[in-house]
Homo-oligomer: A and B are copies of this chain.
Amino acid sequence: MANDGIWMLCTNSAIRRASRQLGQLYEDAMGDTGLKGTQFTLLSQIRQDGQPALKALAEAMVMDLSALGHTLKPLIRDGLVELVADPRDRRVKRVRLTTLGEAKQADLVARWQVAQSRFDQVFGAEKSAELRRALALISSPEFADAFENGLRN
C-alpha cells in the first residue's frame, strides 16, 4: 500500500491523503444527488443544531468563519438553507434548512448510511468508532491548545 511516503511519518499528510480517498468513496455513494460530502455534513449539522449562528456552526465544524460563509453560498443559491438575522443581536445571522433542504438532507441520510456501513464493514465497526473518537479528540480545542502551548498539567 505504498508504505514509503511521507504519510507514514507525517500525520498531517496522512490525514489529508485519507481525506481525499474517503471523500471520493463517500461521494460516489452519494450518487446523483449532486451534493458533496461536505454539503451533506453541513446540512446534517445544521439540522441537528436547529438554527445555529454562523460563528457557532463554524466552531463546531472547526472551520474558518469566512470559509463557512463561502461554503454555504451554493447551498443558499440552491435553496437548501437560508440565513435569518437574529433579532436580539443584529450582528448575528443564523442558518436554517429550508423545506427543500430538509427533504434533501433526509434523502442524503439514507445514502450516507450505505457508505458508512460499508466503511464499518471494511474497516471494522469497533475500530471505526475508535477512529472517530481519535479524530474528534484531535479536532478539539483542548488538543489545539495542548499542541500550541505544550502539555502543562
Contact = CB atoms under 8 A, between A and B. Distances in A.
Interface of A: 1-26, 28, 37-38, 41, 44-45, 48, 60-63, 112, 115-116, 118-119, 121-123, 127-128, 131-144, 146-148, 150-151
Contact of A10 (B3, B112, B150): B112
Number of copies: 2
A8 to B, nearest CB: 6
B2 A12 contact: no
Given A122-B146, A147-B118, A48 B4 contact: yes
A1 B112 CA distance: 24
A65 to B, nearest CB: 13
Contacts of A112: 10
B132 A21 contact: no
A46 B15 CA distance: 18
The 4 A-B pairs of least Cβ separation, nearest first, read: A1-B140, A18-B135, A14-B135, A13-B41
A139 B1 contact: yes
A73 B146 CA distance: 35
Contacts of A136: 1-3, 7-8, 14, 17-18
A14 B147 contact: no
A119 B144 CA distance: 10
Contacts of A14: 131-132, 135-136, 139
